[in-house]
Structure 1
Amino acid sequence: MGNTRLAGMASARAPPSPGTTTSRCALWHRTTRGSGDGGGRDLGEAGGGASQSWATAAASSLRRDVPAGYPAIPGRKRALLVGVSYKGTSYELEGTVNDVDLMSTLLSDSFGFPSDSILILTEELGAGDSSRMPTRDNVMSAMRWLVEGSEAGDSLVFHFSGHGVQKLDVSGDEVDGYNEAICPVDFEASGKIVDDEINDTIVRPLGPGVKLHAIVDTCHSGSILDLPFLCRLSRTGYWQWENYCRRPDLAKGTSGGLAISISGCSDDQKSADSSGFSSEQSAAIGAMTYSFIKAVESEPGTTYGRLLGAMRATIRDGQGSGRRLLPGRLGSFVRKMIPSGAVQEPQLCSSEMFDIYKKPFLL
């Protein structure tokens, strides 16, 4: 299929200068990991109490009233796509709406998702319908909508494009001591959505035969679903699953279904907006979203291992293009031998272990 959707992408906004990138971890009130750390900054404590409360309700009590504008609970395939631009702020992002538009097209054209089973939340849509504004309440309601009534054979997709941060873990279940969180448009007033809440809302309710893919394009998103297994993949293709469950007494898996997350970077990295990946790309788009769509369209029926490897290669070439002066095969060899900590690396996590080079990627 090539990259026809990427090449034909239009944007109503003026894109940044070619090759520029914008971090999806904005610079806010106070540092997350101490003043000596060069990473992203926390978003302050406004609304922090709400963001740290866990969604402790069991799967049977997840049924809630959802806004009238949301699609009726559909059949085998449904998707929730959230793009947050944070318009009018110093940490505004330009590529998030493009991200969800492209993801919607990919799901419809390549994987047969009916258009009326795809729920999109953006500030643009929210201007005409308040239920489509990506506020904390709406995102939580939409996540409940995504999994509600799911049955064996259902395929669910959650895509979030926006800012992500880390917060100190007080429960002792995080390997690195930090919770990961996504930032709705009203995070300063209502709080962030931490990985514990995401896990409780869209992972634990999944029953046998239900499949969920989360595609998350934010900073610090490696373990954003709090799934128990993270795949370590080297540039030479060697891979192994790492148990990411620090406290076995805290259930982080599903209720029999399968949950897989593909995220923009590891927990200690930043993810970027970029308009400089290729000559065919003219509008801002998330680096991870671009690499994901390109990998899927270039090799239909690919495996999870090949998908992750292709995404990382695209991002290495794109994010380093402005700094890499060695051309051709020599330059390629040097880039492979000398890894750059500044280049984000998409991550794969799962509720169960599998052979990443044998299992086909299917939505």
Structure 2
Amino acid sequence: MAMHWLVQGCSYGDSLVFQFSGLGAQVPDDDGDELDGMDEALCPVDSFQQGPILDDEINEAIVRPLVHGVKLHAIVDACHSATVLDLPYQCTVSKQTGRWRWRDERPMTGACKGTTGGQAVLISGSSNGKSNMSVLPEPYATIGAMTHSFIRAVECEPRTTYGRLLTSMRAIMRDSSGNCNLQGPIGGSIRKVANFSGVEEPQLSSAYKFDVEREPFCM
């Protein structure tokens, strides 16, 4: 699998980034390590020929090899992407208190889904499972809603915590009118925001639990 190169030779102090924006899917779990009985998967352009990339494969390829002192950030904008790295802990917002809280996602089978001492963080989103593939006539004119909210939040507050980042992303997702006002050479060519993944809420998963309100976000 092509993503193996990302972690090859990684060592203490390395900061790695994996980004995917596209289609996601769910397929029946065949090894009993999913609480809901479904594996999450990414569908790259060759998925019709090669098949989707399952969360088990992604976890084995870029999560398990992370050694002490190495940190991976994965930014995934796709439907069914909230647990696509199969990380042990998931952070979601409480509808009652509005605060971020951790949920244990470790499989009942006891299968290890963590790292080899390093840290892995996934920023994704919970979705309604419905893809919205809005096609505009101009190529490269759209950006996914989750990706847009992430970039906007980081641009507005570069020195932030994970909790403030998620809260800002949540506000941007809810307030976005579909217009994109990102800055810089890349943002200048993007005119519209399309919620093709059906993402409704930002989510964070991690190999280890930490205080999201205090931990600085740094890639």
TM-score by length of 2: 0.83
Distance 1:307 1:274, change over 3 A: farther
Distance in 2 (CA, whole Å) between partners of 1:316 and 1:267 is: 13
Tell me which protein shows more helix as a share of its residues.
1
Partner Cα separation in structure 1 for residue 47 and residue 55 of structure 2: 15
Contact 1:273 1:287 in 2 (8 A): no
Paired amino acid for 1:171: D
CA distance in 1, matches of 2:130, 2:149: 15
Contact 2:145 2:199 in 1 (8 A): no
8 Å CA contact 2:127, 2:199 repeated in 1: no
Per-residue deviation, residues 113-149 of structure 1 (Å, max 9, x unmatched): xxxxxxxxxxxxxxxxxxxxxxxxxxx22x1111000
Q: Say which is worse superposed, 225-234 or 149-158, in terms of deviation.
A: 225-234
Q: Distance in 1 between matches of 2:37 and 2:94?
A: 24
Deviates more, 1:222-231 or 1:172-181: 172-181
Question: Does 1:296 find its partner at 2:154?
Answer: yes
Is 2:145 the partner of 1:287? yes
2:34 paired residue number: 174
Residue 347, structure 1, aligned to residue 207, structure 2 = no
Shift of residue 268, structure 1, vs aligned partner: 5.2
Aligned to 2:105: 244
Residue 15 of structure 2 corresponds to 155
Higher relative contact order (CA 8 A, sep 6+): 2
Contact 1:269–1:344 (CA under 8 A) maintained in structure 2: no
Partner of 1:255: 116
Q: Structure 1: how far apart are the matches of 2:62 and 2:17? A: 10
**1-side partners of 2:214 and 2:132: how far apart?**
30
Shift of the 353–172 alpha-carbon distance from structure 1 to 2, 3 Å rule, reads same
Whether the 8 Å contact between 1:261 and 1:349 is mirrored in structure 2 is yes
Deviation at 1:318, TM superposition (A): 2.1
Give distance in 2, aligned partners of 1:301 and 1:286: 23
Amino acid aligned to 1:298: C
**RMSD of the TM alignment (CA)?**
2.3
Q: Which residue of 2 aligns with 1:316?
A: 174
Equivalenced residue count is 197
Amino acid at match of 1:244: E
TM-score (norm 1): 0.51
Q: Find the counterpart in structure 2 of residue 189 from structure 1.
A: 49
Question: For structure 1, which runs of at least 5 residues remain unmatched after alignment?
Answer: 1-139, 276-281, 322-341
Structure 2 counterpart of 1:183, one-letter code: C
**Native 8 Å contact 1:164 1:218 kept in 2:** yes
Inter-partner Cα distance in structure 2 for 1:237 and 1:272: 27
Q: Does the Cα contact within 8 Å between 1:319 and 1:343 map onto a contact in 2?
A: no
> Deviation per CA, 1:249-282, whole angstroms, max 9, x where unpaired?
211000000000001x22653465679xxxxxx9
Unaligned ranges ≥5, structure 2: 180-197
1:356 aligned residue (207, 212, 217): 212
Deviating above 6 A after TM superposition, structure 1's stretches of 4 or more consecutive aligned residues are: none
Equivalent pair of 1:215/1:262 in contact (CA under 8 Å)? yes
Once the two structures are aligned, what percentage of the paired residues are identical?
Answer: 57
Distance, in Å, in 2 between the alignment partners of 1:306 and 1:354 is 14
Instruction: Report how far residue 290 of structure 1 moved.
Output: 0.5
Structure 1 CA distance for aligned equivalents of residues 173 and 131 of structure 2: 10
With over 3 angstroms needed to count, the CA separation of the structure-2 counterparts of 1:352 and 1:358, relative to structure 1, is same
Distance 1:168 1:319 in 2: 36
- The answer as to whether partners of 2:79 and 2:130 remain within 8 angstroms in 1 is yes
The one-letter code sitting in structure 2 at the alignment partner of 1:344 is: E
Flag the structure with higher strand content: 2
